[in-house]
């Protein structure tokens, strides 16, 4: 079992058409680095100057990483990392 990254529809083309990609790593940062290593086209969509773009929200097992340790949040095998665009409303 590996860490699974869920890729939202608009990013799938850059992820070889995959809705889910298996990655390895000990933190969210590592996991995303592995994702970009496998699919380099995702790099500029997710990051700007080494920082995650402000409208990309990252969830680890349904918890927003901003409430955890952000990119340093620990991940282990079986964990699901979801990438979801920020949206508003009310």
Distance CA 89, CA 10 (A): 20
CB of 8 to other proteins, least distance (A): 6
Tell whether residue 54 is a contact of other proteins (CB under 8 A).
yes
Q: Does 44 bind other proteins (CB under 8 A)?
A: yes
64 binds other proteins (CB under 8 A): yes
Per rule CB under 8 A, is residue 1 in the interface with other proteins?
no
Are the beta carbons of 55 and 72 closer than 8 angstroms? no
The alpha carbon of residue 38 and the mean position of all alpha carbons in its chain are separated, in whole angstroms, by: 13
Enumerate binding residues for other proteins (CB under 8 A): 8-11, 44-45, 48, 53-57, 59, 62, 64, 66-67, 84-90
């Amino acid at each position: 079992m590996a860490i699974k990254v869920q890729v939202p529809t608009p990013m799938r083309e850059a992820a070889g058409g995959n809705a889910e990609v298996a990655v390895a790593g000990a933190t969210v940062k590592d996991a995303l680095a592995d994702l970009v290593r496998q699919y380099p086209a995702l790099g500029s969509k997710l990051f700007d100057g080494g920082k995650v773009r402000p409208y990309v929200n990252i969830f680890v097992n349904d918890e927003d990483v901003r409430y955890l340790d952000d990119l340093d949040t620990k991940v282990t095998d079986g964990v699901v990392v979801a990438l979801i665009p920020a949206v508003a409303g009310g």
